[in-house]
Amino acid sequence: MIPELNILLAEDNDLNAEIAIELLKTKRASVHRAEYGKRAVELFVRNSPGTYQAILMDIQMHEMNGLEACRAIRGMQRQDASSIPVIAMTANSFQEDADAAAEAGMDGFVTKPVDAEYLCQVLERAQRLG
């Protein structure tokens, strides 16, 4: 079980977002959704450092994909930009997708449909490393 977390979820698909939010709520997490990558970056900037304990980022989104959004966040000059766990969520399960996520600065990789227990394990591992 993950401790209480405030998570920024970047997901452009309403059904996928609803599923992820409900899964995370069963684990006592509070979720703030951004519908696309650019919005996730805006929300991260607008909120104080430490507001979010993790970011779940869909890789394929409009206006700015998840890889670009992660790079933008990692490049910011604020204390939590380099340390906040960013977890990729994608329907693609190819090694090159996992490699691209890691190269963009993401700390973990989960495939959709999301398995709640596995997602919690990835979040816990990323928090320990972050």
pLDDT at 65: 96
Q: Which pLDDT tens digit goes with each residue over 24-59?
A: 888 888 999 999 999 999 999 999 999 999 999 999
* Domain region containing 97: 3-127
Q: Which pLDDT tens digit goes with each residue over 51-98?
A: 999 999 999 998 899 999 999 999 999 999 999 999 999 888 789 999
Give the closest residue to 66 by CA, choosing from 30, 107, 95, 32.
107
- Which amino acid is it at 130? G
- Map residue 110 onto helix, strand or coil: strand
Question: What ranges in the chain are assigned the alpha helix state H?
Answer: 14-26, 37-46, 66-74, 95-103, 116-129
pTM for the predicted model, two decimal places: 0.90
Into how many domains does the chain fold? 1
Question: Domain holding 18: CATH number?
Answer: 3.40.50.2300
